[in-house]
Amino acid sequence: MKTISCMNIDMELLRTFSGETKEYKKGEIIFREGDHALYYFQIEEGKVKLNNYNGDGKEFIQNIFGKNQSFGDSMLFLEKFYPINAICLESSKIIRVPKHSFLELLRIHPEISLGMNACLSQRLYYKILMTQNMSSTNPILRLKGLMEYLKSYYEDDCQHCFHIELTRQQIANLTGLRVETVIRVLKRMEKESLLKIVNRKILY
């Protein structure tokens, strides 16, 4: 089971439970670190990144999401503030459902609730694997951990067919490596047939 397969909720069902589509411009903030979780978000069109910054102001990208993917879901079940920001990487249309309406949706449609539990468990599983690899001093293991995590959100499971839609700088921000190191390691991974690079696109 792939992570994305369980949280692509039917748009019309979301609208039945007070879902509304909101348009965002490139660079617009959907929510900020420190905000309360008030909505369930699912992307109709566009891309969104989740990020935060360390004490020195360096950006760390947590994830990047695209069409039909949801984000920030786990915070709907906690009385906590967001520990991250959600920012549009391009013009986007996002359907959002008020928290109380979304929880009512889960109550009435328990099969979606079960799917959400499976989805969150799957995300946690791959997040743990990625964290383990991130703790390695081996940059190849760091990149592999990231790519396996990103690939877990998509249904295709073939070799060298998943497009890593990240810039070298974004990969560096996600892995804590220097961009020069990322470029060098990607070339090494290509030589070892761990991935392909076609017209600068990374295929994993």
- pLDDT tens string 32-84: 999 999 999 999 999 999 998 888 887 888 778 888 889 988 899 988 899 99
In the block, tokens 């949706």 appear at: 105
Q: Which residues contact 140 (CB under 8 A, 6 or more apart)?
A: 185, 188, 189, 194
Structure tokens at 97: 């459902």
Q: What is the mean pLDDT of the chain?
A: 88
pLDDT at 185 (0 to 100) = 96
Phi, psi of 39 (to 5 degrees): -140, 155
Least confident range from 45-54, 120-129, 149-158: namely 149-158
